[in-house]
Structure 1
Amino acid sequence: MPLLPGSGLLDDVEHAVAEARGTGYPVMLKATSGGGGIGLTPCADEAELRQAFGRVRRLAEANFGAAGVYLERFVARARHVEVQVFGDGAGGVVGLGDRDCSVQRRNQKIVEEAPAPDLPDDVRARMHRTALDLCAAVAYRSAGTVEFVYDVDRRDFAFLEVNTRLQVEHPVTEAVTGLDLVALMLRLARGETALPDPPAIRGHAVEARVYAEDPVLDHRPSPAWSPAPSSPRACGWTAGSRPG
């Protein structure tokens, strides 16, 4: 798989500094057990790396119970592109198009588009081939998403992860392929192993998620709106309140 230049597991901050010199700044410091962007920290130089190292390890330990940290080259102009796949568990895998999930807030996806817009044809073809080869090699079964970071300046991409489940953005893929991914999963679960033909991509689909925050409380996540005009916080989100 194509990977960004980087390090293995880092022993301490001096090890991190030595690896960063070989990779070249800027670098991205990451927790090996990270999720949701927790502990994800860009470092422009050695001073920022030294400052961030201990904090990222503490965040990783507190949130995931593992303090493993590594670094890789930071991609300044990055896009988050993913390929939808479906495998039969015996080495057969079909690609079901791609999506762009680059519009994010706090490292969480907000807008998903299918197919990924303005992606060079040769890059798209290589990305799909890479995703299919990976999943075929491990006899992947069911729906899954192979995710990549695309470096706009280098016109190249690197592997991020595989989401081994149905993702919340799967409806945009269904909209442009005409396939029902949930139905495919249910058929596979009851023993039907025939894969669909690679679908023609028709049209364009966009999914947007509501990102509810309270601007009065430093944009903390909040579940509901408080409409009471007498409230001094009528223009904000009030955690725990019920809609009027």
Structure 2
Amino acid sequence: MWSILYAVSLGHAGGALGVLRSLLTGGAAAQMYFLFVYAQLVVLTPLLYKGLKKCPVLMYAITPAALVAYEIATAAGFASPILCRLFPMWLLFYIVGLDWRRLRRLAKMRFDLSCALWVACLLLQLAVGFCWNTFGDYNMATTQLKVSSMLSSLCAIALLMTMPNRVRSWMANSVLASLGDVSFGVYLCHIAVLAVVSKALAFLNLPVTMATFLTWALTLGLSWVFCLATRKVLPQKIASLIG
């Protein structure tokens, strides 16, 4: 449904066939690849559970190996955008979710150590990003599909796992929890909201830094409000159906 909405509103080339192609490949809008990947992961979930029981090391190694191959292929000029929409590229995060209970038991890292590792990985991610940008590939400089980017994300997860209970309790009762509850809906609608916000701010001719901040703040805020309003106005079944 969301893919068709974006494909029609953004005017995909190729008519009905182009819309169908974008629907089947998760290419209707910039964020629709996630639903395409998520569908693959859900279908594979029973096999993933079996893999975690029999050979967890192999399951955790799939995404790093795929990312290394992807970065090498990209540097050599052989990468294809469709690879970003295949499950091996994102499997690691899903595996961490499936294996969360065991990981919580194993997590004995100190908060200060996990924080230091997170900062170190962020610096590595920045350095790798600037290297890719110097190389002339802005897409690879900013994508999360790099080993360095996923390392920093995993360290952020470890940071949250080792955070003091009082901090986690505060976060659970803060406005962040409300945003987290509708984050999936925000993800689905924010590109449409972004298109409207960008066109509206274009009339103001603001400095780049101010325009960037306002674009981010208004897109997040309006998407959030839209999702909250939708949950209150529409019947629960319909609200759930549209995400």
- Smaller-chain TM-score bracket: under 0.3
Give the TM-score taking structure 2 as reference length.
Answer: 0.27
**Greater helix share, structure number:** 2
Query: Whose radius of gyration is greater, 1 or 2?
Result: 1
**Greater strand share, structure number:** 1
Give the TM-score taking structure 1 as reference length.
Answer: 0.27
